[in-house]
Amino acid sequence: MIRESDAPRIAAEVRARVVEQRVRAARHGGRPLEEVLNETLFHERRRLARAPDAEEARGFYHGIASTLPRASDAELQRMLSSVVARYVHEIEGHFDPSIYKIATRVLPVGMAGLLNGFSPRTLAKRGTLPSFDNQIQVEGDVDALRRLTERGTVLYVPTHSSNLDSIILGSGLHQLGLEPATYGAGLNLFENRMVGYFMQNLGAYTVDRLKTDPVYRDTLKEYSTVILEYGRHQLFFPGGTRCRSGALETYLKKGLLGTALSAYTNQLKSGRDRRLYIVPVTVNYPVVLEASTLIDDYLQHSGRSRYIIVDDEFSKLERWASYGRGLLRLNMRIHLRFGAALDPFGNDVTAHGESLDPSGRTIDPSGYLKLAGEVRSDASRDAEYTRMLARRIVASYKDNNVVCATHVVAFALFHALYSREKPKDLYRFLRALGPAVTLRIEDFLPTLRQLLIEVRTLAAAGQIHGADVVATGTAEAVLEQAMRMFGTYHTRPVVVRTGDRLAVDDANLLFYYRNRLEYYGFLGQKTLLKERHEHAERSTL
Amino acid sequence: MSHEAMETRAEPTRATQAHVAVLGAGNWGTTLAHLIASTGHTVRLWARDAAVVRSINDERVNRRYLDGFSLHAGITATADLASCVQGAELIVMVLPSSAFRSVCQTIAPMLEPWQAVFHATKGVESGSYRRMSQILLEETCIRQYAVISGPNIAREIMEQKPSGTVVASPFPRLTAAAHLLLTSDTFRVYENADVVGVEMGGTLKNVIAIASGISTELGLGENTRSLLVTRGLQEMIRIGRAFGADSSTFSGLAGIGDLMVTCASVHSRNFRLGRGLAQGRNAQEVAESLGMVAEGVYASKVAFDFARDKGIYAPVMGAVYAIVHQARPALEAIDGLMRMQARPDVDFG
């Protein structure tokens, strides 16, 4: 666990490393520092042009711009150092270790209170906070996880479908009595006033996705690496942003993911063999708070351009309250499932943290970094190792997907209508779905039954998991539960029943929830999503 | 970056100070062992057959698979896998594709994470469609791997006729090591980053070689052979792309290069297999008379099954499959090809 006194040392370490890397590169024929700083100026000024209240920052960069043309080598290095110091300060700015300790214990419960529909003021007045634990079901090998957090440093890499994910994971760790994990949260979350207060003190460090300067990215990566080296468990979403389509992530960002390997290498080089474990996690919601915004964004093909969504359900208190009330009234559960831990090379590890080869033999993972017996750095080698790790994480998501009644009903209904209409164009099909397109429940149930058989067969092999009624209930019971869940939170109830028929009320949401079962080939359905995939070298994807 | 490069240059001109293990003492495995020993490395060559081990260690020849060539003194043959593999920084696997997985399983407990594997096996596993590098990753702790493939007739290389090969790997250190292991005045190493393309080129060309052998034996002439080989290349590209290969790789040594040699050389096993089939003999019989594994027999099944499963247009592969595995008369199969509707000349884009 990190000590309070570590914070300034971490900041100094990060700054030293980023500057040193750039200086070394410049000396060996890489980019000259002047060019590096010019690029920083370009990116930061472009960003600041659209940022209000940034006089101080503008002044800072104006100072650099005017000194740059005549700067000596020593001055260039000093300027770079000041830029990096500024970035480090922003990244760790909100972090206060003394609050962190208390906050990580109290806040998950406080957030739960919000979800329960209490206002922050009510919460503050109450002596005891309401528990939300019943709504979060923790699954997976928690005993092994507990041992791993003691043996080494754990990097949690969850699927990402909601801004609630980090809070759910925080609550889950709290419930298990495990050490909290710090994480990089988008600056937009801090700017959201209601959530901001909680986020600020939750041990989160800041990630500003609007900062495009490569030096900023270096700093962020190095910060993540250094805090792992200091033994602080960390959490980040390797898919990047919340998945717009509702599907499981099939492609991961390697930059941050690679920090696990960097941290492990640095530790070995300094003579410490504290292990690093990567724990894939799935956060599974029967109903997703921001589903409408996310799927609309996906369908508008603007997922990239609207990289950051600030005006979604997450920022609206009444949506939170409605969501929380719905969860409680129907006793809906959010399934937080911890997958088996991996080492930084994607190998399985034992409950005691030893790396295993595919035949189950214990191996020493430090060997992967050695050449002629010595630990060596090799960027392209490590990039490939990280790709291998990414493949294992993606495969783990698929195996640890906990499917709810809403997912199976959406998949089966979508499939039944899709194969009946045989549309040439997905988007036209979605637009055409409405009250006029109906299906007799009697005709729908066989499809749902077939899907349940397929899901349960796969579940028996441990390659997917059925939540509650999906694991054991009849098709009728699954449909019943899905209808209630669909009807409780979304403005439009996704699917409606009129007499003995089902009709789609929100086609986009139906598509969103069915997408969680994409990539399994259920009901012989071909893939409809065109997402990027990790090459499946070691998995059965 | 350049800092690392300087470090590499400062190393001695050997890929490793430890010994290099070569698994498989067929004609290509023996030739690779000889090339590696010739660049100053100590080689341990594993052979299943004790007679081959004796012939190499006692007489410095491989009577069974590469008779007539004197082998480098730096090679020690052994029938003991463990002593061959253990301690080797680099391991070169040159095995029939049908034995690849089982050998991986056997050596898995002997391997360590710091070791690297090169493989020179041309094939894809039937049923699973797994490439050899995938099998290696699935079965062992090895992560650093490379593939060697190209137009390499073993005897010509032993005769020191100028030749070249391709090494593909996601690990640049290994492609660099391949130069130190193999490059000589008469043998050149080319690099490629497309592992899938290099593996698929080496695998699929064997099927087209069978077609070429058939056409030659039937006396159909050079036009026919050129037609079959060129159309066959289009099929290789289509199937290769479905596996994830880059189509440009097929214009390199592991594609057209290997195809040219294997579709014309009397030394090519698969070409000879095709000739035997055209004489009306069955595949089993011809393969036995060759005394060596003709990978095209397996590859034609994999290519046919895969093309069928994925709906890929591959009539030449289909015809070879029918001749090899369903005893369809060769002339009839070629006639069938000529009656098919002609498609665009180049259509893999």
Instruction: State how far the Cα of B15 lies from the Cα of B178, in Å rounded to an integer.
Output: 7
Q: Does B143 touch chain A (CB under 8 A)?
A: yes
Instruction: State how far the Cα of A202 lies from the Cα of A89, in Å rounded to an integer.
Output: 17
Our answer to whether residue B301 is catalytic in this structure is no
Residue A304 pLDDT greater than 70, yes or no: no
Could you give the ipTM of this predicted complex?
A: 0.89
Task: Reduce the DSSP state of residue A132 to 3 states and report it.
Answer: coil
Which one of B2, B3, B113 has the shortest CB-CB distance to A367? B113
Residues of chain B contacting residue A367, judged by C-beta atoms under 8 Å apart: 112-114
Give the model's pLDDT for residue B141. Answer: 97
Residues of chain B contacting residue A364, judged by C-beta atoms under 8 Å apart: 112-113
CA distance A365 to chain B (A): 7
CA distance B136 to chain A (A): 10
Residue A129 pLDDT greater than 60, yes or no: no
Task: Reduce the DSSP state of residue A403 to 3 states and report it.
Answer: strand
Q: Does B309 touch chain A (CB under 8 A)?
A: no
Length of chain B: 349
Instruction: State how far the Cα of A430 lies from the Cα of A327, in Å rounded to an integer.
Output: 28
Instruction: State how far the Cα of B78 lies from the Cα of B180, in Å rounded to an integer.
Output: 24
Smallest CA–CA distance from A29 into chain B, residue:
B2
Give the model's pLDDT for residue B123. Answer: 94
Q: Give this prediction's pTM.
A: 0.89
CA distance A121 to chain B (A): 55
With residue B204 as reference, give the H or E element that holds it. helix B195-217
Q: Which residue has the higher pLDDT, B267 or A217?
A: A217
- pLDDT band with cut points at 50, 70 and 90 for residue A138: very high
Q: Does A379 touch chain B (CB under 8 A)?
A: yes
Q: Does A25 touch chain B (CB under 8 A)?
A: yes
State whether B139 and A371 contact (CB < 8 Å). no
Residue B157 phi/psi, 5° resolution?
-70, -40
Smallest CA–CA distance from A392 into chain B, residue:
B138
State whether A379 and B140 contact (CB < 8 Å). no
State whether A357 and B171 contact (CB < 8 Å). no
Among A149-153, A260-264, A316-320, the least confident range: A316-320
Q: Does B112 touch chain A (CB under 8 A)?
A: yes
Q: Which residues contact A144 (CB under 8 A, 6 or more apart)?
A: A340, A341, A351
Residue A452: HSE in the Cβ half-sphere, 13 Å Cα cutoff: 23
Smallest CA–CA distance from A347 into chain B, residue:
B141
Q: Which residue has the higher pLDDT, A213 or A98?
A: A213
pLDDT averaged over chain A?
A: 86
Q: Over chain B (349 residues), what is each successive 10-residue block's mean pLDDT?
A: 45 80 96 97 96 96 94 97 96 96 96 97 94 96 97 93 96 96 96 95 94 92 90 95 94 95 87 92 85 85 94 94 92 84 68
Q: Does A28 touch chain B (CB under 8 A)?
A: yes
Instruction: State how far the Cα of B269 lies from the Cα of A350, in Å rounded to an integer.
Output: 47
Give the model's pLDDT for residue A434. Answer: 82
**Whose CA is closest to B293, among B123, B96, B102, B126?**
B96
State whether A358 and B170 contact (CB < 8 Å). no
**B residues 35-74 closer than 8 Å to A (CB):** none
State whether B108 and A357 contact (CB < 8 Å). yes
pLDDT digits (tens, 9 = 90+) for A371-422: 989 999 999 999 999 999 999 999 999 999 999 999 999 999 999 999 998 9
State whether B137 and A388 contact (CB < 8 Å). yes
- pLDDT band with cut points at 50, 70 and 90 for residue A535: low
Task: Reduce the DSSP state of residue B166 to 3 states and report it.
Answer: strand
What's the CA angle centered on B240, arms B234 and B243, to 5 degrees? 150
As a whole-number percent, the residues of chain A with pLDDT over 70 amount to 85
